[in-house]
Structure formats: structure tokens, C-alpha cells
Amino acid sequence: MNRDLTVDDLLYAGIPLASGLLAAFALRILLRWLGGHADRTRWSGDDVIVHALRAVVPWAAVVGGVAGAAAVLPLTRTVQHTTNQVLTVLLIFVATVSVARVVTGLVRTVTQSRSGVAGSATIFVNITRILVLAIGFLVVLQTLGISIAPLLTALGVGGLAVALALQDTLANLFAGIHILASKTVQPGDYIKLSSGEEGYVEDINWRQTTIRNLSNNLIVLPNGQLAQANMTNFMRPEEQLTILVQVGVAYDSDLEHVERVTNEVIAETMNEVEGAVPDHEPIIRFHTFGDSRIGFTVILGVGEFSDQYRIKHEFIKRLHKRYRAEGIRIPAPARTVALQQGSVGIPQQRTGEIEPGGLSPARFD
């Protein structure tokens, strides 16, 4: 159109614009109500979807209102086309960001709700977000009339050079994906490496694995090093494990009485100490006639790796107290040294006689 702008044009343009703003306001209230309803459900995926819709739907209504107003106004074909392209790009951008939030949120929800999947690992979330944003970027280019075929060709050729330059980074990336896909290590597992590092796995991202040890310090390892290391996972195939406590009693002890008292202390500890497994059958096995004691092993069940220290602490205290009350002795290690009858003389050097080693032979009087 080439005619001048009139008041009627502004009134007509204001109707779709006001309608878009009113629709955005109404949709925002509706989505807020849906968000409150989603908070009361057990599934967290609906929270993610509603949160993403609250970001894209009101903006879509506003963009629709602006597009309707632009269609009514007497704009030239060039300005109209430019306006439509800008609004379309804006709408695609908002939709892409919202879709990225929904998909990454659902991925995070699935990984946190299923055992054996990467609970808090960011590697899958980051890869998903990058893929969605890349697709949105390509859609924007296609909308603007820019051919993406040469771009994809250039990316394919340049990707080879980038892969050669980033061998270590890509190796860590694929090592992290392999670790998570094979389910050998997941965030939350307690692991110990052959090199000595141990602790709870905090996260596995695109380059490195973060481990928090029991002293609350962070250990950062490249994924490639973790994939190649000899490792013990104390959470696989299950979190519950057994611990061994070595005990010894005097030779004059009644072993039947010792076993009965020890079982009573085990039952008390398993039922009262946090982290113990009351259903685990206690096991006592005598195994050694030592120098000063009869040794046996007590096998206890614990919920997970770090619980063993508290359970051992409580069990040993209670067992020692009960043994003292029952008159069961835990002898200290002793050594008996037999001496030859007579006095012991100090080795002295003989005059004129030196042994090849430089010292004279010992002489006992």
C-alpha cells in the first residue's frame, strides 16, 4: 500500500494488538493455574512442560497480535515482508528455547527417576540442548531464505579438522557417554580406583568426572582416565554390602557363650543403629588359634558404603561393654621369651682376634 496512515488504520491495528495482549495475559493466568495443579502431581514432567509453555505461549499471542496489526496497516510490501520475517524469527527463537527446556527437563526427569540411568549427569542434558538449539538455528536460516546445504557441507569438512585438533576432548566425551551407557558408573555411586582415589560420583559431564571423597573434597578425573582405570564400584550390583569385623577372645572362654552373646549384640546393633540392615542374617565364624586368643570374624550387613564406619564404631563399643559384663576376656597380644639359665654377658672384643665381619663373637659367662 502507498496511501497515508489514517486514524482508522490505527484503530483497526489496535484491535488485533490489544487482542494479542489480552490473550497473553489470560493464557499466563491459565498456565499459572495449570502450574499449581502440576505441582500436586507425582510426575515432575508436567512441571517441566507447563514451565516451558509459560515462556512460549504468551509470547506467541503477542507476536500474533503484532502480526495482525502489521497486516492491517498500510505498509509497503518490503516493510511488510521484513516485519513478517522478524516476527517469524522471534517466534522460532522463543519456540526453540522453550522446546530445549522441555526436552532437557524431560531428559533430566527420566534420568533422575530411573535407577541405573545417569541420575544427575549433565552430559545427556547438554547434548540434547545443543541438538535442539542447532535445529532451531537451521530453521531460522531456512526461514530467512539462506540455504543450509553449503553450511552443512562446510561443517562436514571442517568437522574433520576440528576432530583432529580436539582428539583428547572428543575422547573424553565419548568415554563419558560409554561409561553412562554401559551403566558401570552412575552419579551417586561410591567408587575406588586402583590409583587410590575414592568417593561418591557427583557428576559426569562432557569432559570430566567429579568425585567427592569422604573428607568433602572434590576429585576431578578426565573421563578417559576413568574409563581405563581398574575400579571397584561399591554400589553395583546393589547398594547393600557386608563388612567384616575381626574379634578375638581368650582360650579359657566358653565359645558357645561367646557366640550367643555376640549374636545378641549384633541384633541390638542392627536394629538400633542407622544404616544397618536388620534383615541381614548375622554370621560368626571362628577361624584361628592365635598366639594369645581364638580369632573369629563377625559379618554385618550395611545399607551403603559410608554406613560401615558408624556401624563398626557402635558394634565394637557395645561388644566390648557386653564382654566386660559377661566376664569374657579379650586378651592383649603377648610374647614369652625364654632365657638360658645364668647371667647374660655383654659381647666383648677379644684382644688380637677380630672376626671377618669386624666384630668379635659374643661371649656369655
**Is the bond preceding residue 237 a cis peptide, omega within 30 degrees?**
yes
Angle between helix 123-143 and 77-113 (nearest 10): 160
Question: Which helix H or strand E contains 138, and what residues bound it?
Answer: helix 123-143
Separation between Cα atoms, residue 91 and residue 13, nearest integer Å: 20
Please state the separation of Cα 137 from the chain's center in Å: 31
With cut-offs at 50, 70 and 90, classify the pLDDT of residue 358: very low
- pLDDT tens track for 108-163: 766 655 444 444 456 667 777 888 888 888 888 877 777 777 766 766 666 666 65
In this predicted model, which residue has the larger pLDDT, 122 or 324? 324
- Note the pLDDT tens digit of each residue in 325-351: 989 988 877 666 655 555 444 454 444
Q: Could you read off the pLDDT of 172-205 as tens digits, one per residue? A: 777 777 777 777 788 888 888 888 888 888 888 7
